[in-house]
Amino acid sequence: MTVAVVGGGAVGLTAARDLAARGADAVLFERDEIPNPDASTSRAAGVLYDAFAAPEDARVGDRAIERFREFSGTGGFEFEETPYVWFARDGDEKRAAAIREQVPRMREQGRDVSLVDAADLADRYPALNTADVAVAAVARNAGRTDPGSYARAMAEAAAREGVEIRTGVEARVRTDPPRVLTEDGEEAFDAVVVAAGAHTKRVLADAGIPVALKPYRVQALTCEFGGDVPMVYDATEGYYLRPHPEGLLAGDGTEEVESDPDEWTREGDAAFREAMEARLAHRLDFGPDADSGPTVERAWAGLCNATPDYDPLLGKLRSGLYVAAGWQGHGFMRAPALGEAIAEDVLGEGGIPAFDPTRFSGDEEFDIVEGMAVE
């Protein structure tokens, strides 16, 4: 079976590798380099956990963490075990109630998740200010990584399995039969998988196929920090932080408007930097020498894709044409499982029915919301 994968991000690379490992002749098309510094994978947070309450999400999250561990230590990729803590602040009864309700549901799905006392959290992590924490939970089956290192490692693994990787190639798709068009001409395949991230909607539009996707911009920064902290998500203010080689990585900045996947601002906004500096100064002890709080090393933006129901589009769109997109900010952390699932679907081994892309016509009107929000 011959299969083309359009898009060299974490999901596309994993899918190509898994297709080849299962006996398919796979070709991957990427219009830039791998890893592409402007693409979603390279600009992802690298926060990895399986703390989901919905059965399908929990299963996918569990499989992703399992595979991250399997791949760790190969090709320069490392999965660093790190607990993931999320909390609601005093006075935020809505999110406090949501966390109390989420944890038992996550445990029903077999997740190693529990409520944690704010005082105990402060004892374990003295640099973390928990004075205003009302309700907190911790997921222990979690970790962090450098997303670009996963892309490089997966590209090497795909090549070892026999995948032909063509970088610097702008690809378009056509159907009936499935084929890929480049400046070098047209090439037919038994199946084509479009995993082009923020460009997925455009790639499929070239084939006359509308999809319910909206790219949107998110932001993150790194700063110096010498304390010991877990990965943290403040559900009340909607920001996260995690340990990073430069000290600390933190982000939020979801823009609730659709972005142009070609024309968007790559650098972090001044307002985002100022807000995050204030949040970090409140939440963390930067030591006696940090009079003004954190010192930002760099700030950047990336693109995510939203869908009407916040779930991915993963599966067959037309005969021989498949899509893998719409991660709502959770794509990289679930990439090993999502890439595997689309590969299995292409090969007739079953996909994920709940993520069937044909549940939408592609003409839906919907709002963009934060993918990590606790409601």
Whether residue 132 is predicted with pLDDT greater than 70 in this model: the reply is yes
pLDDT value for 292: 61
CB 127 within 8 A of CB 284: yes
Whether residue 210 is predicted with pLDDT greater than 80 in this model: the reply is yes
For residue 1, give the nearest of 27, 23, 29 by alpha carbon.
23
Please, which pLDDT band fits residue 208 given cuts at 50, 70 and 90?
very high
Backbone torsions φ then ψ of 70, nearest 5 degrees: -60, -40
Task: Tell me the domains of the chain and their CATH numbers.
Answer: 2-74+146-212+308-359 (3.50.50.60), 81-143+215-306 (3.30.9.10)
Contacts with 139 (C-beta within 8 Å, 6 or more apart), sequence order: 49, 50, 51, 83, 84, 85, 106, 111, 112, 113
pLDDT in tens, 42-84: 999 999 999 999 999 999 999 999 999 999 999 999 999 999 9
Q: What is the pTM of this model?
A: 0.96
pLDDT in tens, 313-337: 999 999 999 999 999 999 999 999 9
Three-state secondary structure call for residue 184: coil
Over the chain, what is the mean pLDDT?
A: 95
- 336 vs 46: CA distance, rounded Å: 13
